[in-house]
């Protein structure tokens, strides 16, 4: 394992992605990617009385599904690294407590899947763990309640706003075995473009995505076409347009290989999601449900997964602070 440039680690011992599991809500199941997820819930409340409890059930169901599908018992997992969008990642800790697995709770906003996979890969490659579970989740109703207004308020959504995905995706990493491998990671920096608009997360995250992608390509001496796809987490339409403009102005055209999970998961017109999907469950569920399968089946040989996040809180936005962005890149190759 070694550093390349300031922000990238290329693994000598490449961690293996042994299995994945994804669970989404009914709206996500009705979208164009609905057939790729392992489970689609019929009820966004998951039979519970609160949205927060519902998200904890969503997470618990996904982790349980991953363990059952992979044939692993909780005691065989050395660490679990994951998070959500709630204050103090409340739903995640409620979901994980009963598994009795050593737990690293993470918050990277919508970039959490990239953060968890990166740190899990470091633990595996360095020899500190044999099996690690990493993941992230989000829920439309908990996110709206926390970051904007309760749904009952009925505020009008501007066209730049995205629809937070109700979904989760978790992966099992191992030192050995069959499956796609994590080749390298590029850890993002916090990027501040003096943006304050809570209804345009794409504009917040696009500069961070551009910074991380260009840094990764420079650090590893690669070109965009070396990847079958460079996949951002949830820029949506507004963010994608800004990302492609920024990278092109900086001398790198990624348009031919770029995909965005926020644009893939919903049909923006028929599902009334405006600029697309968002939330850390967006890239997590689509990687676990769609892109992992494409790698396993060799439909894709190499991807750069770049979950993107807007680092804000209700308090910071009410106090007029800028909303900063971050993005973490994970380079994954087919077996």
Domain locations along the chain: 1-335
Retrieve residue 162's tokens. 């995205």
CA-to-CA distance for 308 and 208, rounded, in angstroms? Answer: 8
Residue-level pLDDT at 335 = 82
Do residues 90 and 52 touch, judged by C-beta distance below 8 A? yes
Tens place of pLDDT per residue across the chain (335 aa): 588 998 999 999 999 999 999 999 999 999 999 999 999 999 999 999 998 999 999 999 999 999 999 999 999 999 999 999 998 999 999 999 999 999 999 999 999 999 999 999 999 999 999 999 999 999 988 888 777 766 666 666 767 788 899 999 999 999 999 999 999 999 999 999 998 888 888 999 999 999 999 999 999 999 999 999 999 999 999 999 999 999 999 999 999 999 999 999 999 889 988 889 999 999 999 999 999 999 999 999 999 999 999 998 888 888 989 999 999 999 999 98
Residue-level pLDDT at 250 = 96
Residue-level pLDDT at 151 = 65
Query: What is the fold, at CATH topology level, of the domain defined by 1-335?
Result: Peroxisomal Thiolase; Chain A, domain 1 (3.40.47)
CA-to-CA distance for 194 and 5, rounded, in angstroms? Answer: 27
Specify the pTM.
Answer: 0.96
């Amino acid at each position: 394992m070694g550093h390349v440039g300031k922000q990238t680690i290329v693994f000598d011992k490449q961690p293996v992605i042994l299995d994945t599991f994804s669970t989404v809500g009914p709206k996500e199941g009705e979208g164009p990617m609905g057939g790729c997820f392992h489970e689609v819930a019929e009820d966004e409340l998951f039979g519970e009385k609160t949205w927060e409890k519902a998200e904890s059930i969503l997470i618990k169901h996904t982790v349980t599904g991953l363990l059952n599908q992979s044939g692993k018992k909780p005691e065989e997992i050395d660490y679990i690294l994951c998070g959500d969008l709630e204050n103090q990642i409340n739903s995640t800790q409620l979901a994980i407590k009963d598994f009795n697995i050593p737990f690293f709770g993470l918050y990277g906003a919508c970039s959490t899947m990239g953060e968890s996979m990166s740190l899990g890969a470091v633990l595996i490659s360095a020899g500190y763990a044999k099996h690690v579970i990493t993941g992230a989740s989000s829920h439309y109703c908990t996110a709206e309640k926390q970051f904007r207004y309760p749904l009952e308020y009925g505020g009008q959504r501007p066209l730049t706003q995205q629809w937070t995905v109700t979904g989760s995706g978790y992966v099992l990493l191992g030192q050995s075995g069959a499956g796609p491998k994590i080749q390298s990671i590029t850890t993002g920096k916090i990027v501040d473009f003096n943006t304050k608009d809570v209804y345009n997360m794409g504009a917040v995250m696009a500069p961070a995505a551009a910074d991380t992608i260009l840094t990764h390509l420079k650090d590893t001496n690669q070109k965009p076409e070396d990847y079958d796809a460079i996949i951002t987490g949830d820029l949506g339409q507004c963010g994608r347009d800004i990302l492609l403009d920024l990278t092109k102005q900086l001398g790198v055209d990624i348009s031919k290989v770029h995909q965005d999970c926020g644009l893939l998961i919903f049909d923006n017109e028929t599902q009334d999601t405006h600029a697309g999907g968002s939330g850390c469950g967006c890239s997590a569920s689509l990687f676990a449900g769609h892109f992992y399968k494409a790698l396993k089946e060799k439909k894709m040989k190499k991807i750069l997964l770049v979950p993107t996040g807007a680092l804000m809180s209700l308090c910071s936005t009410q106090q007029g602070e800028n909303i900063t962005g971050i993005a973490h890149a994970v380079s994954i190759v087919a077996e």
